[in-house]
Structure 1
Amino acid sequence: MNYWLSGSALENLEVDACCVLPKSLESPPYYIGEPMLNQWVQPPLEVVDGEICDVISYRPGALIISKHAMEKMTPFIENEVEFLPIKLKGMGDYYVLNVVNVIDCLDMSKSEVRYHADGKTVRTIRDYKFYENMIDNVCLFKIPQSAGSEILATEKFKCILNELNIKGLRAHPLFGQD
């Protein structure tokens, strides 16, 4: 079973959790599964009041995590992500969790996929079916069809989250998953 983790939907975070917003949604960076550390420059950010957690909502395809969460999660996800350092006024060390593990594992013939008018660009995926053998030993990943808008996680990662007691992040089932 796989789960979807959103980088922007507040309903995936605990009630009253803090949120960080980019000052402009039109400005880069876009978190599409590509490494960014070598050219990383922190974008202008605005902190919205709320409880300070280990994981903070940010924008589609990316999350902000505390140093505490980074240190706990690193042994499990270090080959699947990169940690982009950011400074948030009065909040200590935080990082943008940039998932760079893009796996073309969506079974398009069994998934329910809706396309934009061009017939090529994926608009939504309503029923995710994966080639399970491609994600057996994975925690976090993205798929090419939605790399800029969502972070996907396996049951393995959900179990790790529960064990580590990371505050502020919940895993929600994908459409079509039990």
Structure 2
Amino acid sequence: MKIYLWDDVDTTLVLSNEADLRKFRDYFIGETLIDEWVKTKIEKVSKKSKIYDNCRIYSNPAISKNALEKLVHFFEKNVEVLPYQFDDLECYAINVTNVIDCIDYSKSIYDKYEGYDVIKEIHKYSFQENLVLNENIFKIPEFRKTRIFVSESFKQAVEEAKLTGFQFIEVWDSEEVPLPPLEPLVFAGPSYDFKEAYHMVQEDNKTVANDKWVMQMSKGELCLGRREPNGIYTWIFPIYLPPILLEMQWYVTDPYEITEKGELAL
């Protein structure tokens, strides 16, 4: 079986009232919202923004009525469908209350915050198969606010219905032969949060990296490299930045050479 991270291809919807963001910081953490949900108003980022069947609003999915009709059978338990107020079409927040403590840390690759017994990042996921075997949509305690995991059946249903705006990142295959764990990369110097790092890349032409990702400019465009389990970096010119990057710390490093094959040469 396979497990995927539910993501989107572009973030084009936002809250109409920024004051609502204060409430959203306490929402979508794996707990019920049905009794306190207010039909919050949302809008497009700009008049020209494209509307998709799936779009994230502050790390949580917002789906169209079309998507809801095609996927409703996946939301019958442990998921609350909460309406937004949106002038362009019917749109709904998806609140996943199914939180499962299912990571197999003996086979996962992860980091903890220095000095604390708290997970900072999981670089390689391994799940306890007996706990997720019959689950189509769930969260994990470690990242209950920002990450939703889905089954291959959910992914296939989205693809068969030709729903737009969905992106799925494969994070686990139970039949995959595991590669030897990579040695963690160690960077010298201070670390920076995403906002600081992104500014240094865009304004100062710096290269920033961590154990999993690299950001740098190339020919005037932002390039993003991801370190794969085999140690090779895949290199893309992203249309948008995955929300997972916002949670990471970054270090200034020497520029990477981009090969003709679109991979990063070390």
The TM-score normalised by the length of structure 2 is: 0.58
Deviation at 1:76, TM superposition (A): 2.4
- Equivalence for 1:2: 3
Deviation at 1:141, TM superposition (A): 0.7
Deviation at 1:173, TM superposition (A): 1.6
Whole-Å separation in 1 of the counterparts to 2:140 and 2:20: 22
Give the letter aligned to residue 4 of structure 1.
L
Q: Where do 5+ consecutive residues of structure 1 fail to align?
A: 7-11
* Aligned 8 A contact 2:83 2:91 in 1: yes
- Equivalence for 1:9: none
- Equivalence for 1:27: 22
Whole-Å separation in 2 of the counterparts to 1:87 and 1:159: 29
Whole-Å separation in 2 of the counterparts to 1:110 and 1:95: 36
Distance verdict in 2 for CA 1:26–1:65, change over 3 Å: closer
Whole-Å separation in 1 of the counterparts to 2:64 and 2:20: 22
* 2:173 matches 1:171: no
- What is the SS of the residue equivalent to 1:70? helix
* 2:45 matches 1:48: yes
* Aligned 8 A contact 2:11 2:57 in 1: no
Deviation at 1:46, TM superposition (A): 4.3
Distance verdict in 2 for CA 1:83–1:122, change over 3 Å: same
* Aligned 8 A contact 2:74 2:137 in 1: no
Whole-Å separation in 2 of the counterparts to 1:146 and 1:18: 20
Whole-Å separation in 1 of the counterparts to 2:4 and 2:64: 22
Distance verdict in 2 for CA 1:96–1:26, change over 3 Å: closer
Deviation at 1:124, TM superposition (A): 0.8
- What is the SS of the residue equivalent to 1:27? helix
For the pair shown, the structure with the greater C-alpha radius of gyration is 2
Q: Give the percent of matched residue pairs that are identical in Structure 1 and Structure 2.
A: 31
Whole-Å separation in 2 of the counterparts to 1:24 and 1:161: 33
- What is the SS of the residue equivalent to 2:160? helix
* Count of aligned pairs between the two proteins: 167
* 2:70 matches 1:72: yes
- Equivalence for 2:237: none
Task: Provide the alpha-carbon RMSD of the alignment.
Answer: 2.1
Q: Where do 5+ consecutive residues of structure 2 fail to align?
A: 177-266
